[in-house]
Amino acid sequence: MKQEEIEKLRGNYISAGYGNYAAPYLEANFNSKRNKNRYYSGHVFHQSYGKGPVDDENSASGNTKIDLEAKGFSKQLVTGAYLGFENMTSYFYGYETLPTVDRNNFKQSYTIYSVGGDLGNLNKSNFNYGLKGKFSYLEDNYSAVESEVDVLFNSYYKLSDRNKVIINSDYIVIARRDELVDAKPRHLFKINPAFQFKPIDELSLIVGVNTSIENDTIGKKSFHVYPNIIADYSLGQAVSLFANLTGDMDKVGLHTISKENLWTAPNISIFHTNRSFDFSTGFKGKLGKMGVFNIGGAYANLKNWYFYESLASDQAKFIVNYDGGNTGRMNLFAEVGYEKVKFMKF
């Protein structure tokens, strides 16, 4: 019989455009093709607006990203490396009256450089692991710089088809300096052991604890312990009931703030968020052959939660305030998805 030909892969993609508000757009991807020993990819993105809705150039903005990734495969290991660059630019255009100063004096720009690598076992066995490391450096237009080192380890040991031991651990150190403060390094170490098992065929359970040690000055305690319980009960072939009870210390840095709010004032105080209680429950399942759904609710108790507030002396900028008590957060969610696989040849 004639051997079937392998379908040709197209690993490159480019898209470009131009819109109103003087908005050029460019996005490009390139990827390696079939190779059992290595893989590489790159992504370039640019979207900018030379003008905005308020005083033309005074509300301009832009975002540029470059990401490069490579992986190598041996008989036992997979190794990878990553390089990244991102720039986010905007202007503090929320002023009451038009400033007479040069527009570059109320410009804000965040530039982030990052490099990382990872290592893990390729052939799945009873013991499986992955180790990732990343260094990221951020600088803004107001003399602030922040360095962040992340080391993440995840692993599990399979005892049987129904049981496994899971151990995940993170270590994060953040160092920041701005015009007013040369902050001491902030350390956050987390280790999360858990046991996954199925007491009955319909029920899957993960039972463990999340622990963390940190040196943020806003908290009274440096050592924290949270429950980590995840349950999934099958009500049939198409529907299951889930319930999660957990908590954690959530990392917050200038990297985090810059992604959420480009108009934050310089020289702000930054602290991690203590998510002391987080419960969610609901139903998930299939709708016919190609549909899925997920519906439920969640409630979390947050300590040291941060809020953005307009600066009294300059309403174009936001300061960050922290709730010294407890903040409750409720979330109701409903999700429906549909997917139909279709192949197109060009």
H/E stretch holding 237:
none
Residue reference for tokens 């893989």: 39
Amino acid, single-letter form, for residue 144: A
Specify the pLDDT at position 346.
Answer: 47
Is 10 inside any structural domain?
A: no
Is 321 inside any structural domain?
A: yes
Is 158 inside any structural domain?
A: no
Specify the pLDDT at position 330.
Answer: 96
Which among 146, 140, 139, 150 is positioned nearest to 173, based on CA atoms?
Answer: 150
Domain boundaries, position 205: 186-346
Is 63 inside any structural domain?
A: no
DSSP 37-105: SEEEEEEEEEEEESSBTTTBGGG-EEEEEEEEEEEEE-SSEEEEEEEEEEEEEEE----SS---S-GGG
Is 136 inside any structural domain?
A: no
Which among 269, 273, 257, 176 is positioned nearest to 224, based on CA atoms?
Answer: 273
Is 86 inside any structural domain?
A: no
Is 149 inside any structural domain?
A: no
Is 280 inside any structural domain?
A: yes
Question: Is 25 within 8 Å of 47 (Cβ atoms)?
Answer: yes
Specify the pLDDT at position 343.
Answer: 55
Specify the pLDDT at position 341.
Answer: 65
Rounded average pLDDT per 10-residue block, the chain, 346 residues: 72 93 96 88 97 92 97 92 97 88 90 97 89 97 94 95 95 92 87 96 96 86 95 93 96 94 92 95 91 96 93 90 88 92 55
Specify the pLDDT at position 325.
Answer: 78
Total count of domains within the chain? 1
